[in-house]
Structure 1
Amino acid sequence: MDSNHPHLRAAPAFFTSPKCKVAIPVHHFLTRDALAQASLDHSVRAIGYRKAPDLYDRQERLDGIVLNRIDGDFLLSVCRTRPQRSDWELAHLSGVLESNGLRLLERDAVDIRREPLFSNARAVWSHERYHVSVNDRLKIAAALAEDGPQSILELEENARPSNDILAAVCALACEDLVELSIYEAPLGPRTIVCSR
């Protein structure tokens, strides 16, 4: 997190999800939201934490959050606004990161709060603790295996779970057991659900 942004509100201390190798220290709500979104992103395979590369003379502090994506490992930098960097600074930063096997993924407040992903990710994670019975888990898994990706409404028809299907698929998404299409439209009955 950029230390030049003390006005960012503090967040609870750690973020965890099945994709997290360890509990990730979180100092600000923007970082928590970025991690919640990353945990629901099918291209992110794992979320790790390690000491950020030493950038020597830079004023900026980078957290050591590493996203292992299908296209490589990225150091996640979350800030309210993207820092202005000279060509030399960009080259230096890229060189330091590359020597550590990383590339930079910068996300600022505008990017993180872009709709509908921002509201959708928060809505999904609001169901993190929703209890999905073993029977409903099996019904949902069987319906997805038999009929492939389908809307939440279709899944409710095909699986006939005993509980709230929207809450159930959100909880399963938090467990990284299903994938939800939450990038293009608000979360609802027409949201597509896929097996992981």
Structure 2
Amino acid sequence: MGDSTTIQASADVAESARLGARTRVWHLAQIRENAVLGADCNIGRGAYIGPGVVLGDGCKIQNHALVYEPARLGDGVFIGPAAVLTNDEFPRAVNPDLTPKTEDDWHRVGVTIGTGASIGARAVCIAPVTIGEWALVAAGAVVTKDVAPHALVVGVPAHRVGWVGRAGKPLRPEGDQWVCPDTGERYTQVGERLTPVG
């Protein structure tokens, strides 16, 4: 445990989990074996962090979000209330012969989320997918393919409808560039990718 880490009494944190300094774990949250949480993370009520999941510094996992192993989250990632990061491409409770599946009967695949990206409330990310840095997945979206950095995606299945800057606000077109209305940051678009100017 890091300095000034706070864990509410009703939370369930495995002894082998590593929590960074100033990380807070709220009521009824569960942090499983060998999970690694960076400094200054906030794990909301009833959230679940699976075995071996890795969170960077400053991540915010809202109430009742489910982050299944082997997810990897960069620094400053936001996971909205009741969002789900899955880990099984072909989910079944039993094998074809109806015997219960065991750990040896499936291969976990994970969701990877880049620095500063946000996943909206009740969104579902179907592994294996990668969400690029500073991307924004809208509430209720279902992500079935990789999301480019700075992309704003919505819908079922999720598709890009715009771009967002590091402040999370939609970028506006200005000549041959995209501009953040809050920070003034500028980007150029090449194909389905944005590149910062300067």
Which interval holds the TM-score relative to the shorter structure? under 0.3
Structure in which a larger fraction of residues adopt strand: 2
TM-score between both structures, scaled by the size of structure 1: 0.26
Structure in which a larger fraction of residues adopt helix: 1
